[in-house]
Chain A
């Protein structure tokens, strides 16, 4: 049988990754995990609703869940700041990762954000510092970390949850250094060139796989909504559970060295 290879357009994928009816963070928590209990707050300033944290079981395995959440209804989207976290979000994720390390509990990160929020308070409370601290801590976190990009992997705000042992992208998700609009504005002072720029940024799951930066791509159904996500969730769950069984057996020092070497090997030079 001849396999038909269709080269997908990057801009179409950007649109799919951002589609309003695409499943968001909370949908994955509901569909993938059992016994979820939410844990709020960063213990420093507040609770960022753009990032949901908590404990749950995955096929009976206790795990820490950290999920960026864009919201579904317009009302909810506004209330979670469209999934753009403040420093409190990244400090909450850091707190829960540290806690997971203490109990040697695997961490599952669900990534979906246009980027960390660019605001006055966010800057004053150290947005850069919060992301930098996440990356630094993940560099040597002594428990397995598995990350999945379900929609938008927007620059540093997404990267902060991606420095783990295993990175999965959904077929029509993206991972980019900057939004195509932002890039077009800086380079051409014209956001309408975003479509063209998207093709140059190499932000699709195929591109990332080509660079060797991700471990797997999971196929999406044609119409991908929370009502059609169950098959995808089964595949995703199976892959994560298998990975956890593999990673949890490693000596923690070995786990950390493996993670470090994996990322250091992505020199790109």
Chain B
């Protein structure tokens, strides 16, 4: 099977069966399976898109990837080094290699820091030379398109787009190899979204970055990603290259997700595959496929046996018993972006 997670040199990040369970806040003893058995690897230099409805565990997965929270099971390896097996000091050093840009630019910078301090902070933590810091701050400001005369301003004096530029500058300060963008443009106006997305494309070339781009917005994901993983309630249900996933999707959930996206022009109106049934209960997931309650094709096998992610030819994986056999159809009208 190709493309199953492996330690090939082109993989920068490998997730194996990663799980993150939370205890029920009310103390009922149930486990909330926010991320449940996710495996994939991200190749050096690509933009890996992760798409899914709100609450399906995308942010949890990003926090686990960045070691902001420990995994409940499985392993995350960066450049072949398993995070569970490295010491504190090494982890601190490895934090330089991957950074995150959060959704809310209003919340991800300490309001008491000037812009200069915010960008300088990561370099101060890692004891960069002072004069080097100053020159780097200027360079980073130019790279992300912020005027250098704003150095002494405070974050609240910036617009949302400028703030997100600042967050990007901050996350690039340590020259990371991998940048995780968790809904990085979702809080911005549509016109600003486009600017930031373009900026990120440029920065990717310039800084030799690999992106994991997380969004609930298909248009954004389609614009920026090379490969796309579709997540549904803690699991990856389909993973394929961008071109494949928008034309030859194999999983009924992907189809439903594509038909749920708004279309710009009435002539592009299409048959929608509507989502029926209830959202599965995270505390008490169905025994079989997580999607079976909402899937029109579900049969008894789907209800009893959970499908695993299997490869279907070059660069395609899906977790459906009947992948490739279903008459899925949707006229994807293009990105609403």
Chains A and B belong together in one complex: no
Interface, chain A (partner B; CB < 8 A): none
Interface, chain B (partner A; CB < 8 A): none
